[in-house]
């Protein structure tokens, strides 16, 4: 068991049924929620990386219902980053020089009918426990925006360009065939703070609050109907007050 907090139970998937439940929830959140395909009750989101990852289930202790899920892949150092899901979409050659344990967090989603902000808080508590227990120094992944309309997120991307780009020594290069180079396209745009914040997905917002950074381009994922940016968070850079809050949840 990773964590029990209030009405939530956080555990690792340990059966084929657990994994299928996570894949089913991912389909509901990423595809079914947007009405892009008929739901026959058996549709799932699955890929080859599932077999290489551990899968986290966040459940309601009272009903047993699966409320959220995400997966993670632990790597000994940047030398292994080519194994990650993110590396299939971004050129992460610069991060190969990162000398320390890292973990990729991906496919995070919350059940469309249970948008409780405490779920994300508990998810971060579980990841904090894993990070502390394994001496993780870098957390990374792909942070997704709903839809593929880049114009709808112009202020948000302008904010990312202005305040949250990755340090040059770690900055991912373009690899995917279809991308939006927002740092270049919006170099002269000043973001409207209100619109920019409104467009930030909750997971990405929490990364940024902890000192996270992003790629200078977004990948257009037509399969899932999303845009995503590479997101990195160096654990040592998390402000002490934020670390205390996270460990308060993880404890």
Domain 71-250 CATH (choose: 1.10.10, 2.30.30, 3.40.630, 2.60.40): 3.40.630
Give the number of C-alpha atoms closer than 13 A to the C-alpha of residue 175, restricted to the C-beta side.
16
Query: Which DSSP state fits 242?
Result: H
Element (H, E) at 251: none
Three-state SS letters, 150-205:
HHHHHHHHHHHHHHCECCCCCCCEECCCCEECHHHHCCCCCCCHHHHHHCCCHHHH
Q: What is the pLDDT along the chain (251 residues), one digit of tens a residue?
A: 678 988 999 999 999 999 999 999 999 988 886 665 566 667 899 999 999 999 999 999 999 999 999 999 999 999 999 999 999 999 999 999 999 999 999 999 999 888 788 999 999 999 999 999 999 999 999 999 998 999 999 999 999 999 999 999 999 999 999 999 999 999 999 999 999 999 999 999 999 999 999 999 999 998 888 999 999 999 999 999 999 988 888 87
Ranges of each domain in the chain:
71-250
pTM of the model: 0.93
Count of residues for the chain? Answer: 251
């Amino acid at each position: 068991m990773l964590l029990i907090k209030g009405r939530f139970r956080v555990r690792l998937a340990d059966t084929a049924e657990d994994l299928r439940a996570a894949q089913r929830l991912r389909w509901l959140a990423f595809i079914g929620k947007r009405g892009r395909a008929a739901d026959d009750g058996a549709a799932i989101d699955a890929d080859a990386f599932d077999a290489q990852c551990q899968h986290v289930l966040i459940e309601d202790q009272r009903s047993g219902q699966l409320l959220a899920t995400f997966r993670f892949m632990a790597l000994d150092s940047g030398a292994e980053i080519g194994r990650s899901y993110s590396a299939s979409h971004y050129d992460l050659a610069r991060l190969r020089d990162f000398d320390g344990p890292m973990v990729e967090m991906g496919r995070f989603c919350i059940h469309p009918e249970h948008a409780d902000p405490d779920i994300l808080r508990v998810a971060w508590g579980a990841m904090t426990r894993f990070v502390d227990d394994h001496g993780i120094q870098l957390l990374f992944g792909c942070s997704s925006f709903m839809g593929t309309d880049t114009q709808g997120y112009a202020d948000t991307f302008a904010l990312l360009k202005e305040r949250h780009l990755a340090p040059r020594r770690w900055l991912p290069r373009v690899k995917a065939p279809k991308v939006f180079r927002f740092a270049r396209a919006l170099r002269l745009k000043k973001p409207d703070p209100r619109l920019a914040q409104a467009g930030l997905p909750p997971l990405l917002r929490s990364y940024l609050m902890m000192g996270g950074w992003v790629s200078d381009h977004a990948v257009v994922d037509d399969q899932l109907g999303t845009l995503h940016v590479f997101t990195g968070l160096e654990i040592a850079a998390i402000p002490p007050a934020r670390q205390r809050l996270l460990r308060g949840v993880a404890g």
